[in-house]
Amino acid sequence: MNRLLLTTLTLFMGGVQAAPIAMEDQSQLKVAPASTPASFKPPAESELPDNAFGKMVRDGYALFVDTKRLAPEYVGNGLNCSNCHLDQGRLAHSAPLWGAYPMYPAYRKKNDKVNTFAERIQGCFQFSMNGKPPAADSPEMTALSVYAYWLASKAPIGVETPGRGYPEVDKPAQGYDIKRGAQVYQQQCAICHGDSGQGQKVAKDYVMPPLWGKDSYNWGAGMHRINTAASFIKHNMPLGKPGTLTDQQAWDVAAFINAHERPQDPRLVEGSVEKTRLKFHANDGVNLYGQKVDGVLIGQGTGG
């Protein structure tokens, strides 16, 4: 079993030794700092050929920006791929597709195996979309993979191109503060995402994504990590004003957002939040899953 760290917890109840629970290493791959300029430019739509390949790219684009409506059987919340990968998956420092596609196949600690790009997308559906992963040979997976391939078609293979991922924002000396984060949220985020993180809808479709609650990402998604959310927020939010928040504000508001309930981690161990934290979250960056905030256990899920 390929793990960098394996820790076991031994519980004693009435003198009986319980079965040990393996602690997974969920640490993340490093990303180039934002100070490294992103020079790669993905191809423009005008460069698409007028043939079957071009049509497949357009199908993948449509799925990417309108995932909930076009693939409802695979999406269990109100999100689209483009909510976390901005500008149609093109924007540097917003986990662009052109930065991800050339890096696969790759080993991922999250599931302790070498993943194909299709498996990486399946993980997004399971966790970020709180849904059901499409089959690797499904029309949806083919279209999304072709779209990513096209965006990365001029990028070097196996090279960590500047602009990929979310550049890390180091934890401030003051750590993070949920109450300060609530103030940042009301001042900078609520206008788009709502006072209660509910997002905004036009008819039945979200035009601004919910940040917590039943229609947001689940507790297994990478964005539940405060450090990951802070990095995304710092370099991409508020929308149209990236980089205007301080590192401290980004960490504080990320903690506030991720102190709220959301759908349960689908990897829930024996119905126990505590056991799930030990196995999947204790080594997964900075997160509140399985911890208490103001006396309330975080990670119980939304129940729907």
**Structural domain ending residue among the three candidates 151, 186, 204:** 151
Which tens digit of pLDDT belongs to each residue from 216-243? 999 999 999 999 999 999 999 999 999 9
Same domain as 182, residue 129 = no
pLDDT of res. 39: 80
pLDDT > 90? residue 24: no
Same domain as 117, residue 221 = no
pLDDT > 50? residue 185: yes
Residue 261, both tokens: 């309930």
Same domain as 293, residue 182 = yes
Using the structure block, give the residue that is written with the tokens 């043939």.
51
Query: In the beta sheet, which residues pair with residue 22?
Result: 8
pTM for the predicted model, two decimal places: 0.88
Phi and psi at residue 107, to the nearest 5°: -75, 135
Which class for 275: exposed (0-12), middle (13-18), buried (19 or more C-beta within 10 A)? middle
Same domain as 293, residue 246 = yes
pLDDT of res. 37: 72
Same domain as 115, residue 195 = no
How large is the average pLDDT for residues 283-289? Answer: 97
**What value, to the nearest 5°, has the Cα angle with vertex 28 and ends 25 and 34?**
165
Is residue 136 assigned to a domain? yes
Could you tell me the residue range of the domain that residue 97 belongs to? 45-151
pLDDT > 90? residue 156: yes
Same domain as 287, residue 192 = yes
pLDDT of res. 303: 80
Whichever domain contains 263, its CATH number is: 1.10.760.10
Average pLDDT, rounded, for the chain = 91
Which class for 85: exposed (0-12), middle (13-18), buried (19 or more C-beta within 10 A)? buried
**Structural domain ending residue among the three candidates 82, 116, 151:** 151
Phi and psi at residue 104, to the nearest 5°: -115, 150
pLDDT > 90? residue 32: no
Neighbours of 184 (CB within 10 A): 24
Beta strands in 95-204 (DSSP E): 106-108, 113-115, 200-202
pLDDT > 80? residue 5: no
pLDDT level of residue 11 (50, 70, 90 thresholds): very low
d(CA 96, CA 165) in angstroms, rounded, equals 7
Which tens digit of pLDDT belongs to each residue from 242-264? 999 999 999 999 999 999 999 99
Residue 171, both tokens: 């934890």
Is residue 106 assigned to a domain? yes
Same domain as 274, residue 188 = yes
Answer for the pair 76, 131: CB distance below 8 angstroms, yes or no: yes
Q: Which of 96, 58, 61, 72 is nearest to 236 (CA)?
A: 96
Is residue 34 assigned to a domain? no
Considering its fold, how many domains does the chain have in total? 2
For 272, the 3-state DSSP assignment is: strand
How large is the average pLDDT for residues 167-187? Answer: 98
Residue of higher predicted confidence among 38 and 294? 294
pLDDT level of residue 30 (50, 70, 90 thresholds): low
How large is the average pLDDT for residues 118-145? Answer: 99
pLDDT level of residue 17 (50, 70, 90 thresholds): very low
Residue 228, both tokens: 């990951």
pLDDT > 50? residue 14: no
Same domain as 184, residue 134 = no
Is residue 280 assigned to a domain? yes
How large is the average pLDDT for residues 169-176? Answer: 98
pLDDT > 80? residue 16: no
Is residue 20 assigned to a domain? no
pLDDT of res. 35: 61
d(CA 211, CA 213) in angstroms, rounded, equals 7
Helix 117-126 × helix 139-151 angle, to 10°: 120
- Write the DSSP symbol of residue 60: H
Same domain as 293, residue 183 = yes
